[in-house]
């Protein structure tokens, strides 16, 4: 996607990714331009009304009862943005800010917010010029919108504050001038329209659902490699057994495991009367149940995401029949809940992966492999500390799984007395997705080593393809080799999807 038309309809996950991560250009559709113009006419008419209208001729929040004279309304909007641009802490990632700006632009394009066309066009121009406002970690309670993050974006559109262009931090005024963009002077209602939305948390949810979909396939690949290299059985993944508990995610995961393990000489080697094992450990046998429950949770999160992408969130909002009405649609609870659910899933997926990994390292449980998969046990500690690194990430993931959305804290002189903390849930989930990626990478690295040690028995064609793709970047253990670069290289292979793609080239698309 080189260019995306922003219209009155919902954006898709792929469109958000194209703009946030791949710098696709945006333009407002003709339909969006007409909708923006029509709703602005309504706001202009109300601006001249002697009756007060919230956000048009009044103050904001707990100051909504104060009427503002026409001569002061430009100053009111400017002051709103300046006062709300009060974030602090570490800088938020570029892809998150671009997703946030795109989603706010998408809401502006619905014609439900009452902004002027030039204001929406300024956001589009900034995205196309690669101008990314500097947004900070703290400043959103997930209610009345992601206020401080959105305000920092609006501040940059006004030619104030700081932005990033490439790796350089610049005054917004300089960056806009260099790109030929005229700073916007906000009019009635526009300050509210640029800050009342859940765009930050929704942007992070959209990025996370995409990343987790790949990580679920990666988790099935890692589990297949572990089951195979630990001389487990694939009989428990049979379709008729899985159908006894008809969860769709479980069925998909089990189908993946069957496809990945098909044709394994290692598996065939112990399907004889000489094998005395009756059942595999839960971490092997129950992989579809755990991975599947996570998949079903992801499916629910995607449903919420798509509903939010189709939403027009603002307060007040311009209705289709021309009313301007206050509402509570800016509350982030629907998004905050699923962000927290996904953090729980990430923690549990990592937990079961770490348990599968640990079994490789214990001579009493690894079925004939050397202790810690070492070249020379005792002289060489093998993968002992790689599992420590995994365990540290799993422990961190458990802390990140504590829900943010139950931690409401009142603000704005008790006007905003129940908030969602959805932004905080989103920030936690980003860290959780990264930690899960690292945990799965270490399992795959360890399982690939174990598959090598099962030689001359050969793994399944699909798992062998993934292992071989790994070996193109990671040579394997040796007396003079550090594990840290191997882990880092494997993490990048997992993140890029190359290992899953290598397996899918053999066994077909995974669910």
Output DSSP code: residue 62. Answer: G
- Tokens standing for residue 80: 């709103």
Predicted pLDDT of residue 99: 98
Strand 324-325 versus strand 317-318 pairing type: antiparallel
Predicted pLDDT of residue 277: 67
Predicted pLDDT of residue 493: 98
Compute φ and ψ for 220, nearest 5 degrees.
-65, -40
Beta bridge partners of 262: none
Catalytic residue among 54, 123, 337, 383: 54
Nearest to 190 by CA among 329, 83, 313, 74: 74
- pTM passes above 0.85: yes
Strand 3-6 versus strand 25-28 pairing type: parallel
d(CA 160, CA 153) in angstroms, rounded, equals 10
- 8 Å CB contact between 8 and 106: no
d(CA 229, CA 216) in angstroms, rounded, equals 20
Express the helix, strand and coil content of the chain in percent, nearest 5 each. 60, 5, 35
Predicted pLDDT of residue 213: 98
d(CA 219, CA 289) in angstroms, rounded, equals 12
3-state DSSP of 296-341: HHHHHHHHHHHHHHCCCCCCCEECCCCCEECCCCCCCHHHHHHHHH
Cβ atoms within 10 A of the Cβ of 402, count? 13
Strand 25-28 versus strand 324-325 pairing type: unpaired
54 catalytic residue (yes or no) = yes
Place of tokens 């609006």: 154
Predicted pLDDT of residue 478: 65
d(CA 436, CA 346) in angstroms, rounded, equals 6
Nearest to 405 by CA among 427, 431, 430: 427
Predicted pLDDT of residue 416: 83
d(CA 220, CA 473) in angstroms, rounded, equals 21
pLDDT tens-place values along the chain, 511 residues long: 799 999 999 999 999 999 999 999 999 999 999 999 999 999 999 888 778 777 787 776 666 677 888 888 888 899 999 999 999 999 999 999 999 999 999 999 999 999 999 999 999 999 999 999 999 999 999 988 899 999 999 999 999 999 999 999 999 999 999 999 999 999 999 999 999 999 999 999 999 999 999 999 999 999 999 999 999 999 999 999 999 999 999 999 999 999 999 999 999 988 765 655 668 999 999 999 999 999 999 999 999 999 999 999 998 999 999 999 989 889 999 999 999 999 999 999 999 999 999 999 999 999 899 999 988 888 888 899 999 999 999 999 999 999 999 998 888 878 788 899 999 999 999 999 999 999 999 999 999 999 999 999 999 999 999 999 999 998 776 666 788 999 999 999 999 999 999 999 999 999 9
């Amino acid at each position: 996607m080189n260019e995306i038309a922003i219209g009155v309809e919902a954006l898709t996950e792929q469109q958000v990714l194209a703009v946030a991560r791949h710098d696709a250009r945006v333009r407002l559709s003709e339909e969006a331009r007409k909708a923006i113009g029509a709703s602005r006419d309504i706001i202009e008419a109300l601006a001249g009304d002697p009756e007060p209208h919230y956000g048009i001729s009044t103050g904001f929040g707990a100051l909504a009862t104060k009427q503002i004279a026409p001569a002061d309304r430009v100053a009111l909007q400017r002051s709103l943005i300046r006062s709300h641009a009060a974030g602090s802490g570490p800088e938020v990632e570029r892809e998150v800010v671009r997703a946030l700006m795109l989603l706010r632009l998408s809401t502006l394009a619905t014609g439900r917010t009452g902004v002027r066309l030039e204001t929406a066009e300024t956001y589009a121009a900034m995205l196309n010029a690669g101008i990314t406002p500097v947004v900070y970690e703290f400043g959103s309670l997930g209610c009345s919108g992601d206020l401080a993050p959105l305000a920092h974006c609006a501040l940059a559109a006004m030619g104030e504050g700081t932005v990033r262009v490439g790796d350089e931090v610049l005054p917004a005024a300089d960056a806009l001038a260099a790109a030929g963009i005229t700073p916007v002077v906000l009019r009635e209602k526009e300050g509210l329209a640029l800050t009342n939305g859940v765009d930050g948390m929704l942007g992070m949810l959209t990025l996370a659902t995409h990343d987790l979909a790949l990580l679920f396939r990666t988790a099935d690949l890692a589990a297949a490699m572990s089951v195979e290299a630990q001389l487990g059985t694939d009989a428990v993944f049979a379709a008729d057994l899985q159908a006894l508990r008809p969860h769709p995610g479980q069925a998909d995961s089990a189908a993946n495991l069957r496809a990945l393990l098909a044709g394994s000489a290692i598996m065939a080697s112990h399907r004889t009367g000489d094998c005395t094992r009756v059942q595999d450990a839960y971490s092997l046998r129950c992989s579809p149940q755990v991975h599947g429950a996570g998949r079903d949770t992801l499916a629910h999160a995607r449903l919420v995401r798509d509903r939010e992408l189709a939403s027009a969130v603002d307060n007040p909002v311009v209705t289709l029949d021309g009313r301007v009405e206050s509402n509570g649609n800016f509350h982030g609870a629907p998004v905050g809940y699923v962000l927290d659910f996904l953090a729980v899933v990430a923690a549990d997926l990592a937990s079961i992966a770490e348990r599968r990994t640990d079994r490789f390292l214990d001579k009493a449980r690894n079925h004939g492999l050397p202790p810690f998969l070492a070249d020379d046990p005792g002289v060489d500690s093998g993968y002992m500390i790689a599992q420590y690194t995994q365990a540290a990430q799993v422990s961190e993931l458990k802390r990140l799984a504590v829900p943010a959305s139950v931690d409401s804290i009142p603000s704005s002189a008790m006007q905003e007395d129940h908030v969602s903390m959805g932004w905080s849930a989103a920030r936690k989930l980003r860290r959780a997705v990264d930690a899960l990626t690292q945990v799965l990478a270490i399992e795959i690295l360890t399982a690939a080593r174990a598959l090598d040690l099962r030689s001359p028995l050969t793994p399944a064609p699909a798992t062998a393809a993934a292992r071989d793709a790994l070996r193109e970047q990671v040579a394997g253990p040796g007396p003079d080799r550090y594990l840290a670069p191997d882990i880092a290289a494997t993490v990048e292979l997992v993140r890029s999807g190359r290992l899953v793609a290598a397996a899918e080239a053999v066994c077909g698309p995974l669910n």
